[in-house]
Amino acid sequence: MTSRQSQILWAVRVSLVLAILVTISFPTWEQFEGKGMLFRAPFYLLPLFVVPGIWRYRGRPDPYPWAVDALVVAPFLMDTLGNVFGFYNNFDVTDDVLHFLNWILLIAGVTIALLRTGISRLAAWTTAYGIGGLAIIWWEFAEFLVQKAGTAGLGLTYSDTIGDLMLSSTGGAVGAALVVWRASEGSRVTG
């Protein structure tokens, strides 16, 4: 991993921790009210351990998958920053835009990880797209549980859930396609 790659990775990881600290340190700020930020915090920090854990489990193969790590953490950072800066409260399209963009990032990371195993590009795209579909289903279920736990600020509706499913799964398809396309152009996808 180059110095620049390390800086990018650590900027994403540290920024997530700092953003989560803001949400739990100032839970009464208007942009956090009714959103279950304290409940979300431990789950949003879990991605910090996913890639390093899998990498260690696999015997620490070189090079470290820094891009995979950053791409898996980035959606949680973007979602948290969307709340920290009040985008969800002030711009109605924030949820839709972030569902699409976050799944591009997340599934791009998954696709890079799959390609590192040596499977074909088509198998990587198909598997990553499926993982993205499952991820958004479970994400929406988790949001449902947070709302059922008594938070009122999520404003979940059937149309919102269906929209989130479509935007995220489409974003996942795009993220996987971008990585597969890049790999087909002869670029080494090792991240």
Convert the pLDDT of each residue in 72-100 to its tens digit: 999 999 999 999 999 999 999 999 999 99
Task: Please tell me the least confidently modeled range out of 38-42, 104-108, 132-136.
Answer: 38-42
Q: How far apart are CA 25 and CA 9, in angstroms?
A: 24
Q: What is the pLDDT of residue 185?
A: 78
Percent of the chain with pLDDT over 70: 95
User: pLDDT higher for 13 or 191?
Assistant: 13
Number of domains the chain is built from:
1
33: pLDDT strictly greater than 90 = no
User: pLDDT higher for 188 or 24?
Assistant: 24
Convert the pLDDT of each residue in 10-30 to its tens digit: 999 999 999 999 999 999 999
Q: What is the pLDDT of residue 182?
A: 92
Question: Which residues span the domain enclosing 153?
Answer: 3-189
Convert the pLDDT of each residue in 133-172 to its tens digit: 999 999 899 888 877 877 766 677 888 899 999 999 999 9
